[in-house]
Amino acid sequence: MKNHIRRFTKKALTGIITGAADNDPSGITSYSISASLFGYSQLWLMLLATPMLIAVQSMSARIANVARTGIATVLKSHFSPLVAWLATGVLVVANVFTIGADILAVALAFEMLTGIALIWWVLPVTAGVWYLVLFKNYKTLRKFFVWMVFFFLSYVVAALLAHPDWQAVILGLVRPDLKVFSKEYFTAAVAILGTTITPYLFFWEAKETLEENRSKESSLREAINEDRINTPGFVFSQCITSFIMIATGATLFRSGISINTAADAAKALEPLAGHWASALFAVGIIGAGLLALPVLSVCTAEVIAETANFRHHDLNNKVKSAKAFYAVVTASLLAGLLIMLFGFDPLRALFYSQVLAGVLAPFLIVLILIAANRKDIMGNYTNRWFDNTFGLLALLVMSAATVLMFLS
Q: What is the residue-level pLDDT of the chain in tens, covering all 408 positions? A: 555 555 556 666 777 887 788 788 888 888 888 888 888 889 999 999 999 999 999 999 899 888 888 898 888 888 888 888 988 888 888 889 889 888 988 888 898 888 888 889 999 999 999 998 888 887 888 888 888 888 888 888 888 888 888 999 999 888 877 767 777 787 778 778 888 888 888 888 888 887 776 667 777 777 777 778 888 888 988 999 999 999 888 888 878 777 777 777 777 777 766 777 788 888 888 888 888 999 999 999 999 998 988 877 777 778 888 888 999 999 999 998 888 777 666 666 666 676 677 778 888 899 999 999 999 888 888 888 999 999 999 999 888 877 776 776
| H-helix or E-strand spanning residue 187 | helix 183-196
- Cα dihedral value 343, 337, 265, 397, nearest 10: 100
pTM of the predicted structure, to 2 decimals: 0.88
pLDDT given at position 328: 92
Q: How far apart are CA 149 and CA 153, in angstroms?
A: 8
Amino acid at site 405: M
Check residue 39 and report its DSSP letter: T
Q: How far apart are CA 325 and CA 99, in angstroms?
A: 17
Per domain, the residue ranges of the chain are 2-407
Buried b (16+ CB within 10 A) or exposed e, 76-108: bebeeeebbbebbebbbbbbbbbbbbbbbbbbb
Amino acid at site 189: A
Q: How far apart are CA 239 and CA 327, in angstroms?
A: 36
pLDDT given at position 263: 74
Question: Who's near 194: CB < 8 A, 6+ residues apart?
Answer: 30, 354, 357, 358, 361, 398, 401, 405
Question: Who's near 379: CB < 8 A, 6+ residues apart?
Answer: 66
Contact 95, 88 (CB under 8 A): no
Amino acid at site 43: L
pLDDT given at position 54: 92
- In total, the chain counts a number of residues equal to 408
Q: How far apart are CA 80 and CA 364, in angstroms?
A: 13
pLDDT given at position 246: 92
Say which CATH class 2-407 falls into.
Answer: mainly alpha
What SS3 class is residue 24? coil
